[in-house]
Each structure stands twice: as structure tokens, then as C-alpha cells.
Amino acid sequence: MCTHRPTCPTADSPDREAAHTIASHPEQGWSLLCNALVVFDDTGELLPDGRIIAPHRPLAEATA
């Protein structure tokens, strides 16, 4: 799907979120990347094969 040079990482790559955004719908909370990955505002992801990556926001530091 990617026609960029250099090509974007595949949806199976650890750096998959570095792919270019081809459709953005901030009002709905999601974007489509050129590697067919759907990323959500809560940091969850939907892979092209239907697998789900749970949200992975960094945990806030505990205040003492």
C-alpha cells in the first residue's frame, strides 16, 4: 500500500506507527496509516488482519 520512499514500516514491524497518515478522523478518534494500520487516540491499534493491539499509553509517574 505504501508508495513512499523510503517505504514505511509494515503493519507487523515494531515501528509500525511511524508510517504516513493517509486518512485522519480526529472527530472520531482514529487515523489510517499507509501500512493499513488503524491507530486510535487512546493508542490502541487495529492491524490489517483484524488483530487488536491494546492501548499502550505510558503509565503516569506516581507522585509521592
Render 3-49 in DSSP notation, one character per residue: --SSPPPPTTSTTGGGSPEEEEETTTTEEEETTS-EEETTS-EE-TT
pLDDT of residue 29 exceeding 60: yes
Q: What is the pTM of this model?
A: 0.80
- pLDDT of res. 36: 94
CB 34 within 8 A of CB 20: yes
CB 19, CB 8: distance < 8 Å: yes
- Radius of gyration of the chain measured on its C-alpha atoms: 13
